[in-house]
Amino acid sequence: MHYKPIIIVSGEPNSIFFEIFFKAVKKKFKRTIILIGSISLLKLQMKRFKFKKKINEVNISILNDNKLNNKSINIINVPYTPIKSFEKISNKSKIYIENCFKVAFKLINDGISDKLISGPISKKSFLNKKFLGITEYVAKNFNTKKVAMLIFNKKLSVCPLTTHLPLKNVAKEITKKNIYEKTILINNFYKKYFGFKPRIGVLGLNPHCESVNNFNEDEKIIRPAVKDLIKLNYKISGPFSADTIFLKDNRKKFDVIIGMYHDQVLTPIKTLYEYDAINITLGLPFLRVSPDHGPNEKMIGKNLSNPLSLINAISFLDKNWLELKRVWVKIF
């Protein structure tokens, strides 16, 4: 059976990416992995981490996945001239990452791949306040308006209603429309890839879902939205208080928990599962996944970084979802 390759954008050059990549590709995967990045930087970091593997430079104009395998590091070279293994995050790396994404987007638009992993990126430097996050950046490039950020773990996943938004701006973004859209994206994703409707729990915004103000978002927006979705046969309930929903007996009732803001759900999911989670963008015409962590500049060059999230990202895209769906449909 022919599988389309997994495309990996190497991300911020001054990060832990190559370290975790070297650790990840020691494992065996069915699908061919094609890295998009700098050969010069790859060689420097292979030397730095004493990692040995043959490098196969891939020509994008004559790309043929049938002739590729994971015995070598398959890489489409994107020019970048590092002076040393690690430098400071700068405009130089910003341009490099943009060029890496351009190559990746071309491969997807040309139908060569439908599976993309983006390595860790410094949002502050790369996005320069033009986008809230990489989720929105990728969505814009594919003219996709309705997307969701799902932090996926096979036991429990979470989805923030608002992503990288300052807390002072969160309340005004909590709307019925936003709750409807995120719920539909989550439901469609689980039905498509796992063959069942997910049990979704929705959190309130205010402590204990109560407010001393005249306007209470929990009662005026969130609860009515949940009731509307229940009438449409979604397996959804809430709003629930965020301070108890992640207790063991409570969280096992759900497949996905929707929070009102980023840290409300990402803090507990990372506390529970640490690196055993991946970031999936829902709503795109292809699968885009990333490790659930950033560049981690403090760990650069120490060879102590945990590769589990990247391994999970590759493993997720490596699966034959149509075959697995048939199995899960029988189970559920």
Give yes or no for a contact between 46 and 52, defined as CB atoms under 8 angstroms apart.
yes
For the chain, give every domain's residue range: 1-144+284-320, 148-277
1-144+284-320 and 148-277, same CATH topology: yes
Closest CA to 217 of 228, 205, 202: 205
Alpha helices in the chain (DSSP H): 17-24, 39-48, 91-109, 123-127, 134-141, 176-194, 217, 223-231, 248-251, 262-273, 308-318, 321-331
Instruction: Report the C-alpha gap between 172 and 50 in whole angstroms.
Output: 51
pLDDT in tens, 237-278: 999 999 999 999 999 999 999 999 999 999 999 999 999 999
Predicted confidence band of residue 2 (pLDDT cuts 50, 70, 90): low
Read off the tokens for 84.
Answer: 């040393």
Instruction: Report the C-alpha gap between 285 and 299 in whole angstroms.
Output: 34
Mean pLDDT of 315-319: 93
**What's the pLDDT score for residue 212?**
66
- Across 118-122, 162-166, 320-324, least confident range: 320-324
% the chain with pLDDT above 90: 73
pLDDT in tens, 203-212: 999 998 887 6
Q: Is beta strand 33-37 parallel, antiparallel or unpaired with respect to 278-282?
A: unpaired
Average predicted confidence (pLDDT) for the chain: 90
Read off the tokens for 158.
Answer: 């979470």
Instruction: Report the C-alpha gap between 286 and 115 in whole angstroms.
Output: 6
| CATH 3.30.470.20 corresponds to the domain 1-144+284-320 | no
Q: Tokens 């400071």 label which residue? A: 88
Instruction: Report the C-alpha gap between 318 and 321 in whole angstroms.
Output: 9
Mean pLDDT of 36-55: 95
Mean pLDDT of 292-299: 84
**What's the pLDDT score for residue 321?**
57
**What's the pLDDT score for residue 328?**
42
**What's the pLDDT score for residue 332?**
38
pLDDT in tens, 71-105: 999 999 999 988 877 777 777 888 999 999 999 99
Query: Is 280 in a helix, a strand, or coil?
Result: strand
Global pTM reads 0.91
Give yes or no for a contact between 105 and 114, defined as CB atoms under 8 angstroms apart.
no
Please tell me which residue, 179 or 125, carries the higher pLDDT value.
179
CATH number of 148-277: 3.40.718.10
Please tell me which residue, 63 or 202, carries the higher pLDDT value.
202
CB 112: neighbour CB atoms within 10 A? 16
pLDDT in tens, 120-130: 988 777 887 78
Q: Tokens 């949940």 label which residue? A: 226
Mean pLDDT of 161-166: 92
Instruction: Report the C-alpha gap between 195 and 279 in whole angstroms.
Output: 20
In this predicted structure, the answer to whether residue 323 has a pLDDT above a threshold of 70 is no
Instruction: Report the C-alpha gap between 153 and 277 in whole angstroms.
Output: 5
Query: Is 238 in a helix, a strand, or coil?
Result: strand
Q: 128-144 burial, b if ≥16 CB within 10 A, otherwise e?
A: eeebbbbbbbbbeebeb
pLDDT in tens, 102-160: 999 999 999 999 999 999 988 777 887 788 889 999 999 999 999 999 999 999 999 99
